[in-house]
Amino acid sequence: MLRSETLFGKREPNSTSPNSPLNATANQPGGLSGAPKASSTTVGGMSAGGGGVGAAPQPAPAPVANEGGSKLIVGPNIKLKGVEITDCDTLVVEGRVEATMDSRVIQIAERGAFSGSADIDVAEIRGEFDGTLTARQKLVIYSTGKVTGTVRYGKIVIEEGGQLAGDVQVGTEGANRNLSVAKAAV
């Protein structure tokens, strides 16, 4: 195996030991295969090793979505019945849910189904919703989505193939009134 000193010329003494974590990472599966091993480099009188100047590029960590709150996922083949869901920022429905909820976001997967009452900010429907839905900000119905019942929304987007049926009205006066009363109480 070629060492970095043979590829890049001379190497500084005591820069990277053979048992350093950096060298171990390069030799492990999923490490930096095919890339030369990193070595320390001196720039302007300062020594930089590991992930500094002259080191082989490290793969960037996967981005972490900052959803900023609690998330409840009802997985496939799960049935959740007769509950009240509160203090949940995002509800992801992949199974079946019969509930009453007040949340920020609901996401119903293609095979998911929700029946009951939902008072939320944003609804993204790929599966089925049946009941009373108030989407204060935005309702998005994808091509596989079906929404039936009493529906109130601030803005709406319906993909071609998406279905919407029932008592449908733009505006959420009742929801906005409840929100202002709640803010006044705080």
* CA–CA gap between residue 46 and residue 54 (Å, rounded): 13
The answer to whether the beta carbons of residues 40 and 54 sit under 8 Å apart is: yes
Nearest-Å Rg of the Cα atoms of the chain is: 27
Which two structure tokens, joined as six digits, stand for 2? 């070629």
For the residues 138-142, what does the mean pLDDT come to?
97
3-state secondary structure of 23: helix
pTM (two decimals): 0.58
Sorted by where each begins, the domain ranges of the chain are: 4-48, 71-185
Of 12-16, 33-37, 55-59, 164-168, the one with minimum mean pLDDT is 33-37
Provide, rounded to the nearest whole percent, the portion of the chain with pLDDT above 70.
56
pLDDT tens digits, 24-45: 444 444 444 444 443 333 333 4
pLDDT, one tens digit per residue, over 34-91 is 444 433 333 334 444 444 444 444 444 443 444 468 999 999 999 999 989 988 999 9
